């Protein structure tokens, strides 16, 4: 496989931004090891929470100084 850093949602194939990728790594580490990622809307559906909840989560990780998030 070519060295490609771009990640796509496993469901809707949208290209993920840095924060979405970081969130996947935080919440679904095992999946990301197999290159399985989800976008924020699909993740919200999967977890049965709102997209805002997930964005809030991203902000939380940022406040903790997590380098996975921009």
The residue from 20, 21, 39, 58 that contacts Zn ion (CB under 5 A) is 39
Rounded CA gap, 27 and 23, in Å?
6
Q: Which stretch binds Zn ion (CB under 5 A): 3-11, 17-25, 27-35, 53-61?
A: 3-11
Question: Counting contacts by CB under 5 A, is residue 11 touching Zn ion?
Answer: yes
Q: Which of residues 48-67 bind Zn ion (CB under 5 A)?
A: none
Q: Which two structure tokens, joined as six digits, stand for 55? A: 């964005």
Q: Which two structure tokens, joined as six digits, stand for 10? A: 């496993």
Cα torsion through 66, 4, 47, 49, rounded to 10:
70
Residues that bind Zn ion (CB under 5 A): 9, 11-12, 39, 42
């Amino acid at each position: 496989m070519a060295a490609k850093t771009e990640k796509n949602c496993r469901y809707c194939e949208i290209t993920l931004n840095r924060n979405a990728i970081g969130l996947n790594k935080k919440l679904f580490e095992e999946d990301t090891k197999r290159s399985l990622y989800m976008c924020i809307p699909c993740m919200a559906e999967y977890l049965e929470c709102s997209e805002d909840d997930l964005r809030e989560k991203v902000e939380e990780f940022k406040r903790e100084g997590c380098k996975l998030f921009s």
